[in-house]
Structure 1
Amino acid sequence: MTTPTTDTAGDAARPRPTRRPRMTPTARREARWAYVFLLPWIVGFLAFTAGPMVASLWLSFTEYDVINPPRFTGGDNYQRLAADPQVLRSLTNTIYYTLLHVPLTMVLSLGLAVLLRRVGRWQGFFRTVFYLPVMTPAVAVGVLFLLLLNTQNGLVNRALGLVGVDGPSWTTDPDWVLPGIVLMSLWSLGSSVIIYLAALQNVPRDLYEAAELDGAGGWARFRHVTLPMISGALFFTLIVNTIAGLQMFTEVYTMYFGNRQNAGSFNSDAASFYVIRLFQEAFQFLHMGFASAMAWALFLVIALITLVQVRLSRRFVYYEGDS
């Protein structure tokens, strides 16, 4: 008769599962109160965000006009979305605007932040001056720039006339509508300026001193020290500005679609953005199913672009904790 043998050495080498420590009564009480305080947010998220998202996903596969019950149509809305010339034109305008808006905002904001870092004790005043336009309501910004870009009496064309330049028709010429909107978008670059200024102030001074001792000039220090050290802030503003550009709506709608008296004075396709077209399909034409499909298509495009940016950031973004 054989007796079973135990491999004590193997048992000793095998890692034992760690038992989760039991929560103390105080910790359980604090956890319950944490859930109590989180409950309003959870209910609000389910009722006003997650719920409408699921409902819009269902509606995107239906024909729904608010008056009649939804009628399931499968993928017809998405097929129409890929073939609708007005939607494609609005998407083209949105991408064109984003490709101009994002680099210009980042470059100008970084330049202003570098200059702002050198003004000394006046820095607080100029920080406030640059950030105040961000607090301006979007509708007010649209009305303001509708006046500033006026062909005859606008301040922009008057300023160009002082240097002998005949200003274009910013608000009526289809070739200049989008550049005028990009010019308007630079009004709110103050938030990026503040972010870059904070990042610049956190760059260690000893890195500049070491680079200067190695013979690096101003441009070399900026390229090899400043840009890598603030790459995290640059990456953050890249994502935020890209998402904001793809969702551009309020200012443009106020300028070109809010005043019905001037609605026929220019080709509205020149200022048609994707979200504006989505709004029109939903609330003017009552094509709620098609508008839901447009919303989900935009969501997927933004998610894909953000994913690509995050993947590419691993090569170019440096964080101080990285080895």
Structure 2
Amino acid sequence: MKTIKWGVIGSGWIAHMFAKTNQTIDNSEIIAIADVSLEIAKAYQKEFSVPRAYGSPEEMLQDPEIDAVYVATPHCFHKEGIKLALEHGKHVLCVKPITLCTAELEEVMALAKQKGLLLMEAMWTRFKPEFQDARQKLLEGALGDIVLMEGHCSFITPYQPQGRMFNRKLGGGALMDVGVYVTSLADFFAGGDPVRIDAQAHFGETGVDQTTSILYQYENGCTAYLNASIESEERQDWTIVGTKGKIFIDNIWYSTSYDIKMHGGEWETRSFGGSVSTQKEHHDFMIRAFNQCVRDGKTDSDVIPIETTCRVMRCMDTIRERIGLQYDVSTK
């Protein structure tokens, strides 16, 4: 089996999680790390025994051994990193959200198509077995007609005005950081665009949304209530209510099971692999799937096609418009 050799752009905590997961996967190896600080890149290199460290992505991308690049920079630098990697002939897996807006995404999508390369958003929740199984239940009609979905993704973030989460220049705020999880899962389970989007937000002193609440309405009558917050008590769960039953997934970041209850029946739990204390194990499914796409010569993912990612991004553009969220960078 071909070993997929990775280069990583950015060496923050998400890049550390990627490295820890990658160490547990056969035939997948990080061979290079690039950061704007060579000193920080060398620290990552030492911690994870990465053969080469670079002080710029451009320098790293000259490496002919690299098959794929993991872009792990703040949101506002994603488009730049993706473009550089694609221009150098590398497949790309980019942390969520893949870009700041649809216009940016369409630009890199066109480049990936032109180059015949795989471009995928690292929306790892879609690859989790319990979410895959729950979606199959919906497709089979087990819950009947879906009338309501409710998703929450929130936690309290220490207030740092210049930090990534609260900085408009870095694309901060609840919508882009955690709202992308609930909007992507709504798309995953609904399988299409809502016909109406309403949203409200609470803005903090730095001008980013610290809490955003979203209401979707679908053509089939289903309503989805989604909440994202970086200022409220931790909550990550997902509920789907149908005419025949309902599904509940607790703690979507760390879950390995879901509960299902048919009308008039008792709750039952469907488990998929024991307890998990970190997200590391869940990223495993996504990385393995991406690697296999590269080996098979695929230029798109079956689990999260790039057009699907674009569909979600269009919804997020509408939400930004509804709440009046603007960044100190272009999102046109």
TM-score of the two chains, using structure 2 as the length reference = 0.22
State the structure with more CA Rg.
Answer: 1
Higher strand proportion = 2
Structure showing greater relative contact order (alpha-carbon pairs closer than 8 Å, 6 or more residues apart): 1
Higher helix proportion = 1
